[in-house]
Amino acid sequence: MGSKEMLSSVFHFPAGITIDSIDPGANELVIGIACDAPSMPCPQCHQPSFRIHGHYHRTVADLPCAGRNVLLLLTVRKFVCSTSSCPHKIFTERLPGLVESYGRMTPRLIALLQALGLGAGGQLGTRQAERSGIATTPSTLLRHLMQLPAPMIRAVRVLGVDDFAWKKRQVNASHGIATSTSFPFCLQHPPTSVFLLKHQSG
């Protein structure tokens, strides 16, 4: 195994991804990578193409390393579709195991941010991410949380009900919490009396 292949395996890059350069800094680690596959299938007609039209550079954030932000500097190739009848004459190579199309973060970094958001929320999750070497914001963290599928809601056996007010000395509405899962059940206006009448069993 060569040095490039060994470094790719250390960073758990997908097969076919090679490291061209590593530029360490005080707070940042920039890794230049590229795909060495000789051909790439057209996303329209799915026929492989060996004709390279050109390339461009793209920056993607990855998991931190030793407390430093990791930026992947991708050299992305453009191919010419070899199928004459295909409307997609020029296409960009896809790297699904590394990053999604138009993505600015790797899927594994997004998964980590979602885990931090679920466990700590926006503000605290952002501070924990910064301690780990991930530069993010509360809005970015919450945006990735919104991409998660909604959890399955099981039958509610015990429902906790409480009143709350938007203004002082007013009771505006009630909300229910499934006590077994701490999952918000619903929001009801007017408050408790009508809420219980509408949601009581039997």
What local confidence, expressed as pLDDT, does residue 170 receive? 64
Give the CA distances from residue 89 to residues 35, 83, 95, in Å, rounded to whole numbers and listed in that order. 21, 8, 19
- Mean pLDDT per segment of 10 residues, for the chain of length 202 residues? 68 87 89 92 92 93 87 94 90 89 89 86 84 84 82 68 67 65 59 52 48
What local confidence, expressed as pLDDT, does residue 136 receive? 84
Tokens for 11, please give them: 């960073």
**Per this entry, what is the length of the chain?**
202
Beta strands in 66-188 (DSSP E): 68-80, 90-92, 159-164, 173-178, 183-188
What local confidence, expressed as pLDDT, does residue 51 receive? 93
What local confidence, expressed as pLDDT, does residue 40 receive? 93
